[in-house]
Chain A
Amino acid sequence: MIGNKEITQFQLLFVLIHCQIGVGIITLPNEIFLKAKGDSWMSVLLAGIIIQITIFIFGALMKRFPSSNLYGIIQFLFGKGFGKMIVILYSIYFMILGGFFLAKFAVILRAWMMPTTPKWLLVGLIVMIAVYIVKENLQIMARFLFISSITLIGFIGFSIYSLKEANFTYILPIGNTGVVPIMKGIPTTLFSYQGFEFLLLIYPFVQSDQKGLVKVATITNIIVTLFYTFIVMISLLFFSPNELKIVPEPMLYLVKAFTFKIIERPDLLFTSMWIVLVATTIIIVLYASSLGLSFVMNSNKRSIYVFIVAGISFFLAMSVYGVYEIDSVSRIFNPFIILFAIGFPILLLLIAIIFNKKEVENSG
């Protein structure tokens, strides 16, 4: 029988997919196009490869510390005081991330569906949903994340429909922008890929050995990379380069252009489905953050911290106004994502290797 707090490998797959696919999905093609032009899809693929390397680094880290998570490793390597400070930093990082996603969500939703609905309500609803489930254990979250994956099928369905209007000459000639823009596009993409570090937080709760974990993470990465490449590709093929520059949410705009027999404005449905994806991302971010806080406080009751974390994220989201402000925040915040998601785990691994630290095997 499955233990009370454990999830299966299969569930992990969906948890990780939802970690990575979130708010950014509808803006990614535009953001990356501004950097890498017609070769954006290559940036996405390259970013996927970088993530894959990071996953192997995670794998090495997980092998050394099979039963504690990222927070445990930090405390183990840095000692109690300093370690806890870093864990708090991680918590804050996730909180800011949550606030940022919420702000972005509110801006996009108000631009596309609900222009006059107050922001606090839209943000508050998502936070309420997140709190309602994050209080519970990982197993329940995994169940919900699995069910909400149905929306991804809808996403792909709508996107495939747009291939009808694809114009392949828009991305030709391949590679004409040169290497530099493609490289410049990678950090932007990593922002959308953000979330795979969640693996480091939950791996002790998965019924699997380290090899299985890496395998699942790799499968997830392949799925997500292909998914993102597909979406970027479709936007590139549908919009002419000059149009893609001025369309901030290409995925929604693309769907808006279609008509079906019964549904004349599929973008409304599409946006509704996207709300689910936003909620799942917020759920994961809040979980990660509350896990950190309860770890620092040595508390078993995570639910109190969920409320605290959700409240802070809510106020962070409320304090960011406007499209341009979000852009500048994301510009400032981008390096931190790379630091926390990739840089820090690498540092941990280096420290562990250099000082040859390993988790003490304790039987029982």
Chain B
Amino acid sequence: MIGRLPFIWATFLAVILAGCWDERLLKEHSLVLSIGYDLGTDETIIKTVTFPQESSGDPQQNSPATQSNVITTTGDTVKDAENQLDRLIPEKFDRSKAKVILLGESLAANGIFSTLDSIYRDLRGPLNASVAIVKGTAKDASNLKVNYSRPISDFYSELLISAGESGLTKNENVQSICPIILSDVKDIVVPYIRVTENSNMAIVDGVALFSGDKMTGKLNIKESSMLLILADQTAKGTKMNLKVSSDKEKHDKNFVDFVIRKTKRKLNVYTDNDEIKANIDLTLQVEIDEFSSDQLYSEKKAKALSKEIEKKLNELAVKTIASIQEANNDSLGLGEKVKAYHHSIWEKIDWGESYPKVPIETTFNVEILKHGILN
């Protein structure tokens, strides 16, 4: 017992003296909070990172940083551009806490998987960072001066989260898009951000449509809401605004605003003479938010309104489906269904080619659940 003690302590000491190999002291690292990738000339990668400006001085008060520093480098690959960063940042570069990854539109059109590869490979890669496509360049988006009390990275991450929560887009992170990019039966959609001309606003402007890992199109904000409804990924309380009539004098009386409380989707993929057809059956329970043209005191009126809403929704759905089929974006997951339930056909066809031609029919069934505290 006593003889062993020195041995144990010697081991301990040896370990301490040998040093801390993997130590990464927090204070020695600059936390990069947003990363932007753009396609440069000659297919080089332009990388833009932002990290919060250190609040200086008083250790008693560590108020969160409000300003961010923006640094841009260029390299052959993502990692190459990143290695350049060490020459520019005084502390060590650490991207493990990145919150947003912004991808320039031109880069997205060329394929994003190779750009994200280093993140997937890295043991400290920020898999939880939100991904967004930027109209124009990510560099401009990172350099945006917004009226916001916190760094630009927080601005984008909050923007994407709130857009996701209100059912405008689906907030995707680096990991959640990975299995879908790699699968041949489904495609991703990623929030699409536009920076305004005078460069002090960024707006979520719908979603970018991907086919494989290449961006092939985009949807506007109404269509992207519709896409989410069709894909059964509505957030709690997706808000919609539809024009239900055009004969009213006052402009706002032509519209109805409602919140979708509950959706029930039935996606039915069936074959008819070896041809694939799809049918989406949707039941929506909605709550009317604003409807100034009429009162809903009788059930009949409500029925009429819901019929009108159904019609308009269907129009929007047809438009949306046409857009995604044009972009060859199978974000509804039809391919999954075909592969799983009609495997014999699946093996015969090339899904990428047949998908745009698949007829997709939608049927809406709207129930007005509530109309607020007013009839």
Residues of A within 8 A of B (CB): 111-118, 121, 128, 165, 167, 169-170, 172-173, 176, 238-243, 246, 256-257, 259, 264-265
By the criterion CB–CB under 8 Å, are B336 and A112 in contact?
no
By the criterion CB–CB under 8 Å, are B127 and A257 in contact?
yes
How far, in whole Å, are A111 and B183 apart by their CA atoms in the complex?
Answer: 25
B102-110, B153-161, B337-345: which lies at the A interface?
B337-345
By the criterion CB–CB under 8 Å, are A256 and B127 in contact?
yes
Q: Which 10 A-B pairs have the closest CB atoms?
A: A172-B340, A240-B183, A257-B175, A240-B179, A242-B182, A169-B336, A117-B21, A116-B21, A169-B340, A243-B182
Within 8 Å of chain A (Cβ to Cβ): is B5? Answer: no
Q: Can you sample 17 A-B contacts with CB below 8 Å?
A: A111-B123, A114-B21, A115-B22, A115-B123, A118-B18, A118-B21, A165-B176, A167-B179, A169-B185, A170-B183, A172-B340, A173-B339, A239-B179, A256-B175, A257-B127, A257-B128, A257-B176
Query: Which one, A112, A173, A240, A259, contacts B123 given CB within 8 A?
Result: A112
Query: Which one, B127, B179, B339, B340, contacts A243 given CB within 8 A?
Result: B179
How far, in whole Å, are A240 and B184 apart by their CA atoms in the complex?
Answer: 9
Residues 165-187 of B, flagged 1 when their CB comes within 8 A of A and 0 if not, give 00000000101101110111110
Within 8 Å of chain A (Cβ to Cβ): is B11? Answer: yes
Task: Give B58 Cβ to nearest chain A Cβ, in Å.
Answer: 27
By the criterion CB–CB under 8 Å, are A243 and B178 in contact?
yes
By the criterion CB–CB under 8 Å, are A172 and B341 in contact?
yes
Task: Give B270 Cβ to nearest chain A Cβ, in Å.
Answer: 16
- Please, which residue of chain B has its CB at the minimum distance from the CB of A125? B15
Q: Assuming A113-B123, A167-B179, what are 5 further A-B pairs, CB within 8 angstroms?
A: A169-B340, A173-B339, A240-B180, A240-B185, A242-B183
Most buried by B among A112, A115, A265: A265
How far, in whole Å, are A165 and B173 apart by their CA atoms in the complex?
Answer: 13
> Which residues of B, 325-364, contact A by the 8 Å Cβ criterion?
333, 336-337, 339-341, 343
How far, in whole Å, are A173 and B176 apart by their CA atoms in the complex?
Answer: 23
- Please, which residue of chain B has its CB at the minimum distance from the CB of A176? B343
Task: Give B250 Cβ to nearest chain A Cβ, in Å.
Answer: 46
- Please, which residue of chain B has its CB at the minimum distance from the CB of A169? B336
Residues of B near A173 (CB, < 8 A) are: 339-341, 343
How far, in whole Å, are A264 and B22 apart by their CA atoms in the complex?
Answer: 20
By the criterion CB–CB under 8 Å, are B179 and A238 in contact?
yes
Residues of A near B343 (CB, < 8 A) are: 173, 176
Asked, given contacts A118-B21, A257-B175, whether A169 binds B333 with beta carbons under 8 Å apart, the answer is yes
How far, in whole Å, are A172 and B341 apart by their CA atoms in the complex?
Answer: 7
Query: Which one, A172, A241, A265, contacts B183 given CB within 8 A?
Result: A241
Asked, given contacts A121-B15, A172-B341, whether A242 binds B123 with beta carbons under 8 Å apart, the answer is no
How far, in whole Å, are A241 and B175 apart by their CA atoms in the complex?
Answer: 15
Residues of A near B127 (CB, < 8 A) are: 256-257
Residues of B near A118 (CB, < 8 A) are: 18, 21
Residues of A near B128 (CB, < 8 A) are: 257, 259, 264
